[in-house]
Amino acid sequence: MIQRMIGRMIQDMIRRGRFITLEGIEGTGKSTHLAMIHDILVATGIQVMVTREPGGTALGEALRQIVLDPDYKGMSADAELLIMFAARAEHLSSLIRPQLALGNWVLCDRFTDATYAYQGGGRGVPLERIAALEDWAQGSLRPDLTLILDAPPAQALARTRKRGRAADRFEQEDLIFFQRVREAYLLRAREYPERYRVVDASRELNEVQSELRYLIHDLAATI
Ligand code: Z5A
């Protein structure tokens, strides 16, 4: 156990790749912008792995199916929390840590901030419980940069409804739920301003993208 913890600490210290996460309530454009950020990094000569949570591995994708399935509408908040961390533990050990250790960058659609926002803010799980699981699963590993795409829930949800597909278990929640999730994201950004950039995603797509382009070029210039 102690050996494994020390091994992880050493891995974190020698890692060379950067870890960037994208967050925000649904419909703020994470998937849309992820592709653009990927292209910018590749054009700069950076090797980048794009992934998502929950998911990113075979086990993670299977857990994603369960946690999004409306048939499990009454799932307890603790079960939901532990599924997120089970998927994350697998993701970290089989993909994220190895990629970072190789010097590759990892660009992830959602990570632990989503747990603070959805399970903490949305479901009311005590934040200390999330922090304990975060320390256990991640050790000292945290993203280098987290971009929070922020928009009023009514506007963001209206965008996703245009897609016309059936709503998953989270998408069936009401506006108040997404307001709590949004507030939880913004609170984290206020508490740890060095790691977060809040981007106003209520603007036109091209305006949001030009700000993101600037932020990513800025980060790439620091390597
Ligand atoms: N979850 C959790 O509870 N706890 C956790 O720890 C983790 C996750 C990791 C799955 O996430 C669910 O898991 C998520 C939280 C939970 N549920 N919710 N809600 P997901 O990331 O796969 O699902 P999502 O957030 O629902 O993604 P999404 O619906 O695909 O949204 P998006 O990626 O942010 O948006 P998009 O697909 O890029 O854009 C939506 C549409 O809006 C699209 O047509 C765009 O062209 C359009 N768009 C985007 N930006 C603009 C602007 N600026 N103007 C106009 N139109 C725009």
What is the per-residue pLDDT across 106-132, written as a single tens digit (0 to 9) for each? Answer: 999 999 999 999 999 999 999 999 999
Percentage of residues in the chain with pLDDT exceeding 70?
93
CB atoms inside a 10 Å sphere around CB 194: 5
Residue 113 burial (CB < 10 Å; 0-12/13-18/19+)? buried
- For residue 95, list its beta bridge partners: none
Indicate whether 84 pLDDT > 90: yes
What pLDDT is attached to residue 215? 92
The pTM of this model reads: 0.93
Ligand 1 in contact with 159 (CB < 6 A)? Answer: yes
Sheet holding 145-150, edge to edge: 48-52, 105-109, 19-23, 145-150, 196-200
Strands (DSSP E) found in the chain: 19-23, 48-52, 105-109, 145-150, 196-200
Mutational pocket test of ligand 1: of 51, 134, 170, 200, the residue with most ligand atoms within 8 Å of the beta carbon: 170
Ligand 1 in contact with 109 (CB < 6 A)? Answer: yes
CB-CB contact of 200 with 33 (8 Å): no
pLDDT-based confidence at residue 162 (cuts at 50, 70, 90)? confident
Ligand 1 in contact with 93 (CB < 6 A)? Answer: no
Indicate whether 41 pLDDT > 80: yes
How far apart are the CA of 171 and the centre of ligand 1, in A?
A: 10
pLDDT-based confidence at residue 56 (cuts at 50, 70, 90)? very high
Q: What angle do CA 99, 19, 12 make, to 5 degrees?
A: 65
Indicate whether 11 pLDDT > 70: no
**pLDDT digits over 185-215, tens only?**
999 999 999 999 999 999 999 999 999 999 9
What pLDDT is attached to residue 166? 86
What pLDDT is attached to residue 16? 74
How far apart are the CA of 42 and the centre of ligand 1, in A?
A: 23
Ligand 1 in contact with 120 (CB < 6 A)? Answer: no
Longest distance between any two alpha carbons in the chain, whole Å: 51
Ligand 1 in contact with 125 (CB < 6 A)? Answer: no
The H or E element containing residue 2 is: helix 2-14
pLDDT-based confidence at residue 221 (cuts at 50, 70, 90)? confident
Ligand 1 in contact with 30 (CB < 6 A)? Answer: yes
